[in-house]
Structure 1
Amino acid sequence: MKKGFCILLSSALLLTGTVPTWAKEERLLLEPHEYRGIVGTTNFYRDDVLQSSDAEIYLKDGYVMLPLRTFFTSINPDAQIYWNSVDQQAGVLLGESSIFLYVKENKIVVNREEQPVVGKMEVKNGRLFIPLRNWLTILNQCGYQLTDADLHWDSTKQEVTVTVRENQIIFEENLKTPVISGEGQAPLYAVALTATYSGIQNLGDGYFLGIDDTEGYYKYAYDILDSNGKLKSHFAPGEIFRMEYLGEGMFCVYTERWQQEYVMDENGQKQFDVAYDSIGDFHEGLACVSDEKDGQKVEGYVDAKGTLQIPLQFADGGYFSEERAVVRDLETRKCGVIDKKGNYVVEPKYKSCKSFQDGMSLVQTEQGYGYINKQGEEVIAPQYVWASDFYDGTAYVLEEQNGSVWLINTKGEKVKKMADQPGDSYESNAYCLRISQDVVLPSGAEKNVDHYYDKNGEISMEQGKLLFRLSEGLCSVLDEKTQKYGFVDKTGEMVISPMFREARDFKDGYAVVQVQDQWGVVKNPLLQK
């Protein structure tokens, strides 16, 4: 059986954490904060205020080892942290920046770019520690400004000090700020609270994975549950390494770390062996498979029985959407679009293509970005320096660098001028634009975002944070009185009462929650008939 690499940590997993309520801030450019840690103790300070930490700072191979959670939450209390103890991988959302840490590979990726690593990361007593010097690299990539001079080691006191200059956000007083209000309703459980599992994952499509790690590493037990809490499949401790949901009721079983062994249905019935290096998710009945031929990667598509429906003939294959899939030609390396028979409906001539959304695909040529329809016709000629997908009949476009951002319709007509780019200060005063549930950012907007917009115009940063966190119309927030998490809607009205120790994002109508040491799944009341 061939082996295929699969990234466990994804943006979806990265966004499954909870966030506190937001507070009104004022912009103080490059406000310095001092972080101080004492080796051999759990004492870690921000501006001489002791931070919460249950992990002792220590020295290894000449490097000061700081715990990940303590440092990130001291930098930003809203930091969201995901830890996969099986593969020793961590994901962090720090503002608009994403950080992935791969302990076994000793690799750090910030905003999709791999960074140089000094020393070695280590897991100790269940906590992830990172050599201090790497924090300078991570924070600089996240929009903070640090130099080597900001890091100071006092060998006499066994004390390390880091000075971090933080950009603060401007708030316009005339922009509406959401206020958390109401008590909410009692949760409606799809999967009742239970202490059976050490954790539950929302796989999507109404499937959930119950994980029991009491037997230790490599000996996890797995249960597949449906939206009624019914047990569909069970794997005893150590029976498999792990499993992955492929969509449309199909699951891939791994018997070893990177080895995709076979595909099964929800009841655990084997459908076919994975005869390729890797298999992707099913969309509209087909899944992209990858293999190697003559020293290069080739991709094609199989059906739910494992039968090859479209031969392995592409350099890259995207998922099917609206009966179309974007592929990259093996010879020309250009992008085109195929139908479910593998025939080109759009010849491979573009630098890039995106999956169809609202019947439109965003394409790129030397002239810029434009849009094609499902017949391959360029309904909006490539001309923009940046553009978003269409959503509900509109898209955002930028006509020229440092020009204006416009909202356009499917005919390419300008509907509304959203904002004027700020010229030379673009990188430090970027705009965040949002289309319904899809967040889209112009180039450079990952750092120092000062202005937020929806389709109606500029909104406050607090409103932007709430919109960022919405999943299916709800956002988890921390109630200051009870110190428990609940769910609010886009106006800040409490919809599900705050009673959870942890409350993750909604996906396909459901969200995983934790109450004390029990895990369960709640339904989204906004989607109930």
Structure 2
Amino acid sequence: MIHKKLFIAITFLANTLLLQAQTLIVQVKPAGSKTWGYAGIDGKLIIPAQHEKCHPFSSNGYAVVFNAKARQYQFIDMDNKQLVAEQPKFAIKDGLGFAVSGFQDGLALLQLENRKWGYMNAEGKMVIPAIYDDGNDFNGGFAAVKKGKEFLVINKSGVEKAIEVPAIDVRDFSEGLAPIKIADNKMGFINEDGKIAIQPQFEGVGYFKNGIAWAKTFDKKVGYIDKSGKWVIEPQFEAAKDFDKVSGLARVKKSEKWCYVNKDGDIITIDDTLVWGDFSEGLAEGKKGSQKGFYDKTGEWVIEPKFEDVRDFHNGYAAAKLNGKWGLIDKSGTWVIEPTLDSIKDVALVKK
């Protein structure tokens, strides 16, 4: 009993120290402002609204911002101090169809003045030189890059591994596997050694999350596969999204109607809504009349529809709009940042 109590006390202390070493931060555009800043979940500005363009903080405490005067991207920390980079002139993937990620797995993907891509660490050093024609973010210690017409897998030391089949596209790794597309437009997955893990045989695939990924056959049906490529939910949907870890549900479209499926393949329909959002942290966006709220996996309204607009939950909080202004709510629907902002983005969890 003493050992058990000691274990509980140590676990509680460890969790407390972990929470103390992290903070929550969100991008905000105050009312009437043309520029962005960063705030805590109490709504108080941590970094003034002075950035023409900015992006979420990565978990290591740096965010990408655009310096309008210098017409240049920079990394800043939570004290608004610029990270001194050995290559100060760089570009990032910040265009249509690209999600700016900043540091991922400890490295940031940058394009230098030679128009090539490489990777910088949090000390500002280019630890993998800019020699690639394209690149992806690191995940689990590996990334896919393109050199000339060839795709390769690299580790964080820059060691290259050839991919065993010619590819026309390779995407990010997730849970040790990366989607690959070959010349006949078939898609499958490679592992971190560049070896085929799941034979290219699909028209499209998603990313593995909790051991499952969606896959689309050439007769336009979508189902879910495991890491061996075996169907765990047979292809039967017109569209399918990722599984939410908390609710255990994924949004799917069947017979032109949106519904949900669990990992056993059981279909769950929720009728008391006009829109069906993806589940995120156990809750999904729904709509009644012109108002939006959130329901749980049983279809019960946990947060009654009373907002003009909402976004998914991230780290326990969601953006919500009321009377033309944005704020932040918790999972009870209570405002933690009052709706006074012209815009607000998703909450990020950052190391202090």
After TM superposition, is the score higher than 0.5? Answer: yes
Give the corresponding residue for 2:330: 489
The CA deviation at 1:496 is: 4.5
Distance of 2:142 and 2:156 partners within structure 1: 7
Determine the C-alpha separation between the residues in 1 that align with 2:238 and 2:73: 50
Does the CA contact (< 8 Å) of 2:292 and 2:307 recur in 1?
no
Number of the residue aligned with 1:434: 278
Q: Which residue of 2 aligns with 1:465?
A: 309
The residue number in structure 2 matching 1:277 is: 133
For residue 59 of structure 2, what is the aligned residue in structure 1? 205
2:181 — aligned with what? 328
CA positional deviation for 1:287: 1.5
Paired residues for 1:7-406 under 5 Å: 186=42, 192-193=46-47, 201-209=55-63, 213=67, 216-218=69-71, 220=72, 222-225=74-77, 229=79, 233-234=83-84, 239-242=88-91, 245-256=102-113, 259-260=115-116, 262-293=118-149, 298-311=150-163, 313-330=166-183, 332-365=184-217, 366=219, 368-392=221-245, 393-401=248-256, 405-406=258-259
Aligned length in residues: 307
Deviation for aligned residue 1:335 = 0.9
Q: Is the 8 A contact 1:335 1:353 kept in 2?
A: yes
Are the structure 2 counterparts of residues 210 and 198 from structure 1 closer, same or farther at C-alpha, using a change threshold of 3 Å?
A: farther
2:120–2:127 Cα contact (<8 Å) kept: yes
In 2, Cα distance between equivalents of 1:440 and 1:300: 38
Larger Rg: 1
Q: Structure 1 residue 375: deviation in Å?
A: 1.6
Q: 1:456 aligns with which of 275, 298, 305?
A: 298
In the alignment, structure 1 segments of 5+ residues that lack a partner are 1-14, 21-51, 53-68, 70-80, 84-183, 421-428, 442-447, 511-522, 524-529
If the length of structure 2 is used for normalisation, what is the TM-score? Answer: 0.68
Q: 1:374 deviation in Å?
A: 1.2
The letter for the 2-side match of 1:343 is: K
- 3-state SS of paired residue (1:411): coil
RMSD: 4.6
CA shift, 1:281, in A, is 0.8
Change (3 A) 1:221 1:284: closer
Residue in 2 that maps onto 1:417: 269
Partners in 2 of 1:211 and 1:277 — Cα distance?
24
Amino acid at match of 1:299: F
What's the offset of the Cα at 1:465? Answer: 2.7
Distance 2:152 2:282 in 1: 28
Q: Percent identity?
A: 21
- Could you list the per-position Cα deviations for residues 264-297 of structure 1 after superposition, in whole angstroms to 9, with x for gaps in the alignment? 211112212122211121111112212443xxxx
CA contact (8 A) 2:326 2:341 kept: yes
Q: Which amino acid aligns with 2:128?
A: F
Partner of residue 407 from structure 1, selected from 249, 260, 269: 260
Q: Residues of 1 paired with 2:290 and 2:152: CA distance?
A: 40
2:21 maps to which residue? Answer: none
* SS of match in other structure, 2:349: coil
Q: Distance in 1 between matches of 2:342 and 2:239?
A: 41
Shift of 1:255: 3.9
Cα separation, partners in 2 of 1:399 and 1:289, compared to 1, 3 Å = same
* Deviation, structure 1 residue 259: 2.1
- Counterpart AA for 2:62: F
**How far apart in 1 are the matches of 2:339 and 2:237?**
45
Q: Does the 8 A contact of 1:205 with 1:248 survive in 2?
A: no
- For 1:188 and 1:195, locate their aligned partners in 2 and report how far apart those are by CA, in whole Å: 11
- CA deviations 1:293-324 (Å, max 9, x no partner) are 3xxxx423211122212438321112111111
**Cα offset for 1:363?**
0.8
User: Structure 1 residues 251 and 266 mapped into 2: Cα distance closer, same or farther (>3 Å)?
Assistant: same
Where do 4+ consecutive residues of structure 1 move more than 6 Å? 195-199, 438-441, 448-453, 497-502
Unaligned runs of 5+ in 2: 1-25, 94-101
| Length-normalised TM-score, structure 1 | 0.48
In the alignment, is the contact (CA less than 8 A) between 1:279 and 1:287 conserved in 2? yes
Once the 2 structures are TM-superposed, how far is the Cα of residue 492 of structure 1 from its aligned partner?
A: 2.8
Amino acid in structure 1 at the alignment position of 2:197: V
